[in-house]
Amino acid sequence: MPNQSGIDAVGRVFHALADPSRRAIVERLVRGPAAVKELAEPLAMSLPAVMQHLKVLEDAGVIVSEKHGRVRSCRLEPQTLRTAERWLSGQRTEGERQLDQLDDYLKGT
Amino acid sequence: MPNQSGIDAVGRVFHALADPSRRAIVERLVRGPAAVKELAEPLAMSLPAVMQHLKVLEDAGVIVSEKHGRVRSCRLEPQTLRTAERWLSGQRTEGERQLDQLDDYLKGT
């Protein structure tokens, strides 16, 4: 059995990023926090559908949302994306590692 | 609308990696090609269930499978994982970019 605690967290992140609308939301939030209304504007879907996508992203820890008065705004939690990136970065074949080493050697590092 | 051709390919990869059994298969294949039977051994599931997981990974371009006689073997297609890694690597906030620059400066690169 795989390590449930660590692996499920990464799995939730990959699941959250499998949807193009959710990736579009992440790409927008990379530029800074935004209100839900602003995030919804470029997406061709209802506000409840957008809220559902935001919930998937928030449950995975990719974003954090806060309510100020009547406005809910969202921001990225960059560390979560870095966790997924590290998993991918670790999946390098021996051939890839050798190419990386050759690349480092040619760069003189 | 997001760019369907490029974004859907990345979406299929993230979907494929959302499942812990499929990630366990990838982690095994990083060490080298393997027969389906060998991939199935550590997984607590039926062979048809394993085949279904392999199909999801193959449809996403994460793995390639070939049949030699009666044995089907699988290998990783590393470039597909690198595509997903690059998408994640590109999602860096301004704060993260500044920290990366400071890190490069302190390392003298």
Q: What is the number of other CB atoms lying within 10 angstroms of the CB of residue A78?
A: 17
Number of domains in chain B: 1
Which CATH number characterizes residue B71's domain?
1.10.10.10
| pLDDT per position as a tens digit, B10-22 | 999 999 999 999 9
Question: Do the domain assignments include residue A68?
Answer: yes
Q: In Å, how far is A29's CA from the nearest CA of chain B? A: 8
Question: Do the domain assignments include residue A83?
Answer: no
Question: Do the domain assignments include residue B29?
Answer: yes
The residue of B93, B98, B99 whose CB has the most chain A CBs within 10 angstroms, and thus the best one to mutate to test that interface, is B93
Q: Which residues of B touch A19 (CB under 8 A)?
A: 11
Residue stretches of chain A with pLDDT short of 70: 1-7, 109
Domain that includes residue A28, residue range: 9-77
pLDDT at position B47 is: 93
ipTM for the assembly? 0.86
Sheet containing B34-35, strands listed edge to edge, beginning at the edge strand earlier in sequence: B34-35, B71-76, B63-68
Question: Do the domain assignments include residue A85?
Answer: no
Question: Do the domain assignments include residue B73?
Answer: yes
pLDDT at position B31 is: 94
